[in-house]
Amino acid sequence: MHGLSQFLQFALCIVLVCVCTLSVQLAALAWVRVFRKRPQLKLAEPADADLPHVLVQLPVCNEGPLAVRVAASAARMNWPLDRLTIQLLDDGDSDTHDELAANVRAVVPEDVNFHILRRGDRKGFKAGNLAYGLVHSDAPFVAVLDADFVPPADFLRRTVPVLLADSGLAFVQSRWGHANRAANWLTRVQGLLLDFSVEQEARFRAGLPLSFNGSAGVWNRTAIEQGGGWTGDTLTEDLDLSMRCMMQGWRGAMVSDLVVPGELPQTAAAWRAQQARWTKGHAQVARKLMPIIWSSAMPLWKKAAMTLQMCQFAFYMLAFSSAAISLTLMYMGAAYYPGVTWFGLLATVLGVISSIGYLYLGQRMLGRQHEPKLVASLLLAVVFPSGLILANTRATFEAFFSNRMDFNRTTRVGEIQKGGWRGVPELVVGVVLPVFAFAESNWSALFFFFAVSGLVSIGAMGAIAPRAVRQQITPGE
């Protein structure tokens, strides 16, 4: 047993090193965000008569009023009508297509070059839908807006000129806003996690490879084609194409003062499903591209930066592995080596401090540091993600050891999450875990405190909120 204990503690140290690496990455990005000056984006200033043709793609799938709303918003964007094409790419059920088309036509002016396309199958999911739309247009610039986003009228005026001024840019990304950020504690936490005011901005300032966020950005079509186009072999087509373009020498740019509001999942079931899909997609991209990246002639720093960006999903698998190893050692009655104990405590404290500091910095940069519920939201932003350890670890293993591809679109406001999940796995583990974990007085108690708090929180939200969240959405909103 002594030899097994040594092996497990050695494995635990390797896991903790990886956890510390992710924490240090957050601290490094925060440092860059504070101390590195923002590159000055060049802006082309062509006359309206010289503006290029722009294609705006709106991929939707059974999204009803949201699809109508984004169509109406896109039609109001300020761009010469003879150089603007808008595609509503309907991947929804066939029996709702005619009604959607009629509702969209009712809110889109007749002089707008607006096309409603339906391909008849969902091969490749969103990536396949976007690729299908590109076949029907030769526009050199392509904007992508998901159904829950509402672009401002000047969206194209503030993004396309950046691409025109720098032919080396693959895409320009705006910053996501969150229209329902204050709906509940879960949306407040998501707002903190998805502000991108530190991560994306820091990567841009440091000249690191940048990922397209999947919506509210504009692409140079040449980059899409040279990068290999939209492919449906992963669930995060945005990260996949971005990394392939970065490997080709393309760059991305962030227009942080351009905010495009979208909707956040308002239930634990919807958030859990979304995060599992994103985690699985990141893992699929890592599985697909990591061998190519590390066998390429790119400089070491670029390989490392791309690897860290793609492998952020690893936190959940690492947390699960750490818990499994710790519980096994507890069951064995093994005594920790003092160095392992202190290293475990250091990794836990570093993770908590770097995460909270990173998120607080983002809010400070946005001028929200005095919001009344900020402190509680920051603490919950550490607790709630811990409740996704089970779902996201499973998603990671599926990505590496299964070819199954299920694209579960994020449940929108007013919808009910399909499937039978009601928080039972998280509640069971969250209740049973303390019986074993807190019986031991060691470094892992703090880690297990956050894990148990997160699992019970997410599980409880899943158990008590089976009904849809209602919100009125009007086409002109």
The stretches of 37-139 forming alpha helices (DSSP H) are: 64-75, 97-107, 125-135
Alpha-carbon distances of 108 from 68, 74, 87, 119, 177, rounded to whole Å: 9, 9, 12, 22, 24
Q: What Cα–Cα distance (Å) separates residue 122 from each residue in 137, 246, 356, 432? A: 20, 28, 40, 41
Q: What percent of the chain has pLDDT over 90?
A: 76
Spatial neighbors of 6 by CB under 8 A, at least 6 apart, are none
The verdict on 60 and 161 lying in the same domain is yes
Q: Which residue segment(s) compose the domain that 457 sits in? A: 2-35+309-464
| Catalytic (active site) residue 233 | no
Q: What mean pLDDT is predicted for residues 295-305?
A: 96
- Same-domain check for residues 195 and 338: no
426 and 400 fall within a common domain: yes
With contact defined as beta carbons under 8 Å apart, do 197 and 222 qualify?
no
Residues 327 and 447 in one domain: yes
- 202 and 54 inside one domain: yes
Main-chain dihedrals φ then ψ at residue 469, nearest 5 degrees: -90, 125
- Dump pLDDT digits (tens) for 302-335: 999 999 999 988 999 999 999 899 888 888 888 8
Residue 254, in any domain of the structure: yes
Compute the average pLDDT of residues 150-177: 97
Distance CA 425, CA 19 (A): 24
> What distance in Å separates the CA atoms of residue 209 and residue 232, rounded to the nearest whole number?
22
- Same domain membership, residue 53 and residue 24: no
Residue 238, domain member (yes or no): yes
Please write the tens of the pLDDT for every residue from 115-149. 999 998 889 999 999 999 999 999 999 999 999 99
Looking at the structure, do residues 26 and 141 belong to the same domain, yes or no? no
| Among 146, 148, 238, 240, the one annotated catalytic | 238
Question: 200 with 73, same domain?
Answer: yes
Catalytic status, residue 154: no
CA proximity to 237, closest of 219, 211, 208: 211
Q: Domains in the chain: how many in total?
A: 2
Q: Is the pLDDT of residue 31 over 90?
A: yes
Same domain, 131 and 202: yes
> Which tokens is 397 given?
């293993």
What is 242-303 written as a DSSP string? HHHHHHTT-EEEEEEEEEEEE----SHHHHHHHHHHHHHHHHHHHHHHHHHHHTSSS-HHHH
| 358 and 409 share one domain | yes
Catalytic residue among 90, 91, 148, 240: 91
Q: Which of 177, 294, 310 is nearest to 239 (CA)?
A: 310
Nearest to 277 by CA among 457, 407, 140: 407
More confident residue, 372 or 470: 372
Count other C-beta atoms under 10 Å from residue 457's C-beta.
22
